[in-house]
Amino acid sequence: MVDLRFLSINRRERAIFDGVLRLLDTVTRTVDSFDASVSAFARGDAKSAEVVEKVFDGETEADAIHRELGTKIAEGAFFGGVREDMLNLLEKIDDIADSAKDAARFLSQDSRLTAEARSTLGSAAMRSFISALKSSVAALTSLVQALEQGKSEALAKVTAVEDFEEEADAHKDILLKALFSSNESMDPVTVIQLRDFIFVADNIADNAEDASDVILVLIAKGYG
């Protein structure tokens, strides 16, 4: 790795790159809050609504960072041929926070998800599913950090995001199978809501993977 920081010819781009890491940090905290909100709901914690609010706040913060960085790129940062890719990358990262918010909405006070959903939300399969979702975001952060080091370092990490996305998919299948084949009688509305919750939450990993695909395009264009 060769450090050209002393040249200071890429101050604007460095600020944006640092901003992307800041966005990822916010997104990671948002997904962590989402994880905490699922646990709180499963426990029947009275403060679960407060934790859900943290997810909403995190998504709002991510939106603000996304908007700020997008404007800077549109103003002329980065080589013309990759500006669109950088904007796509920001969009996909922001979509992760959006997915966390959409999924957390199922756990908010005005949700129709009732206490009978708690056992599913607190199940080991759900824990594994959410763990895979979080890992996909962590792998994406690691991939973006590697972009600053060079092509081989980035390429070595590009498949990790996809691996976690596939792992999340596998856990999602287990959860859906358990939901539809359960002998326990569950309100059909709860079944539908849990199914939708799982699908929406899975978008966290899907968007992380989409972001890694954009990074692959950047690498193909000689970046990283």
List of residues contacting another protein (CB under 8 A): 1-2, 4, 7, 9-10, 13-14, 17, 76, 78-83, 147-152, 218, 220-224
Count the residues in the chain. 224
CB of 218 to another protein, least distance (A): 7
Rg (C-alpha) for the chain, rounded Å, is 19
- Rounded least distance, CB 43 to another protein, Å: 43
- Output the six-digit token pair for 34: 């989402």
**73 or 201: CB nearest another protein:** 73
CB of 165 to another protein, least distance (A): 23
Q: Which is nearer to another protein, 92 or 171 (CB)?
A: 92
Contact indicator for 20, 89 with CB cutoff of 8 Å: yes
Separation CA 147–CA 13 (nearest Å): 13
Q: What is the DSSP track for 116-155?
A: GGHHHHTSHHHHHHHHHHHHHHHHHHHHHHHHTT-HHHHH
In the bound state with another protein, the residue whose beta carbon lies nearer, of 37 and 88, is: 88
Write down the least CB distance from residue 159 to another protein, Å: 18
Q: Phi then psi for 150, rounded to 5 degrees?
A: 150, 175
Let me know: does 136 contact 23? Beta carbons within 8 Å.
no
Question: In whole angstroms, what is the distance from residue 103 CA to residue 99 CA?
Answer: 6
**Nearer residue to another protein within complex by CB, 50 or 84:** 84
Q: CB of 29: closest distance to another protein in angstroms?
A: 24
Closer of 71 and 119 to another protein (Cβ): 71
Taking each helix axis from N to C terminus, what angle separates 124-147 and 11-43, rounded to the nearest 10 degrees? Answer: 170
CA distances from 108 to 47, 54, 58, 179 (A): 11, 11, 15, 21
Of the two residues 76 and 188, which places its CB atom closer to another protein in the complex? 76
Least Å from the CB of residue 69 to another protein = 14
